[in-house]
Amino acid sequence: MVRFDIFSDPICPWCYIGKTHLDRAIKRTAVSFIDIRWHPFQLNPDMPLEGMDRRAYLEQKFGGQSGAVKAYAPVVEHAQKAGLQINFEAIKKTPNTLNAHRLIHWSEAEGCQNALVDALFDAYFVQGMDIGNAEELCEIAQSAGMNSELAARLLATDSDMSLISERDQNARKMGVGAVPTFVVAGQHVVQGGQSEEFWNTVITEISDNIAQAELS
C-alpha cells in the first residue's frame, strides 16, 4: 500500500475540491494500493468553540462581503469546473472545527474516515450545516457509517482535544502552512487542490514503479 497523508480542514473549499479530484483519479485509474489517512489542520485555531456568525467572520477576515466575493471567486470557478456545488449563502456560521477533527480521528478506527470527510464537506458546503455543533456532527457521523451514540458520548467530553491540537501544531512544525497538503509515500509533498489530470499522472507513475519493482 502507498500512503497518502492528507492535511485538511473540513471548512476549506480547496480541500473539498482537491479530494474530489483525487477520488476521481483513483476511480479512473482503478487502483487499490492507495491508503488515505486524514490529519488535522485548523484554518482558524483561535476560533471560539461556539463558532462565529458568518457575516461577522467575513467582515473580520476580508473586510466585508465584497472582499469575500473577490477572495472566493477562484474557488467558485474551480468548483464549477469540478461539477461541485458550494452553497456559500447557506452557511450561516463559521465553526470551530476541533470537534469535526476529533470525529475524523475516531472514524479511522471504524474504517469510515473517507466517508466521514465526504459527509462533512457535503454538510458544510452544500447543506450549510454547523459542523461545530455536536448534535449535527452526530447526524453526519451516522450518515457516514459511524456509531453515532458513541460519537455523542465522546463529543460530550474533552477526549482527544489536546491530541488534535498537538497533531495540528506538529503539522505546522513540519512545514505545513496551508491546506490541502498531501504527503505521498512519506516523502513527496503536494500542496493545493490539484487537478484530476495531475493525480492521474501521479498514480500512473506510482503504478508503473510498483510493476517494475515486482518484475525486478
Question: Is the pLDDT assigned to residue 20 strictly greater than 90?
Answer: yes
Question: Is the pLDDT assigned to residue 22 strictly greater than 80?
Answer: yes
- The DSSP-derived string for the chain is -EEEEEEE-TT-HHHHHHHHHHHHHHHHHT---EEEEEEE--S-TTS-TT-EEHHHHHHHHHSSHHHHHHHHHHHHHHHHHTT----GGG--EE---HHHHHHHHHHHHTT-HHHHHHHHHIIIIIS---TTSHHHHHHHHHHTT--HHHHHHHHTTTTTHHHHHHHHHHHHHTT--SS-EEEETTTEEEES---HHHHHHHHHHHHHHHHHHHH-
**Percentage of the chain lying above the pLDDT 70 cut:** 100
Query: Residue type at 119?
Result: A
Angle at 136 between CA 131 and CA 141, to 5 degrees: 90
Question: Is the pLDDT assigned to residue 216 strictly greater than 90?
Answer: no
- In this structure, the dihedral spanned by the alpha carbons of residues 175, 179, 182 and 187, taken in order and rounded to 10 degrees, is -10
Determine the average pLDDT of the residues in 2-19: 98
* pLDDT at residue 65, as a whole number: 79
* pLDDT at residue 68, as a whole number: 87
pLDDT in tens, 50-91: 999 999 999 899 998 789 889 999 999 999 999 998 999 999
CB 102 within 8 A of CB 161: yes
Task: Return the minimum-mean-pLDDT range out of 41-45, 60-64, 90-94.
Answer: 60-64
How many domains does the structure of the chain reveal? 1
Question: Is the pLDDT assigned to residue 116 strictly greater than 80?
Answer: yes
What's the farthest any 2 CA atoms get from each other in the chain?
60
CB 156 within 8 A of CB 134: yes
The residue segments making up the domain with residue 136 are 2-215
* pLDDT at residue 77, as a whole number: 96
CATH code of 173's domain: 3.40.30.10
**Percentage of the chain lying above the pLDDT 90 cut:** 92
Of the candidates 193, 176, 200, 10, the one whose C-alpha atom is nearest the C-alpha of residue 100 is: 10
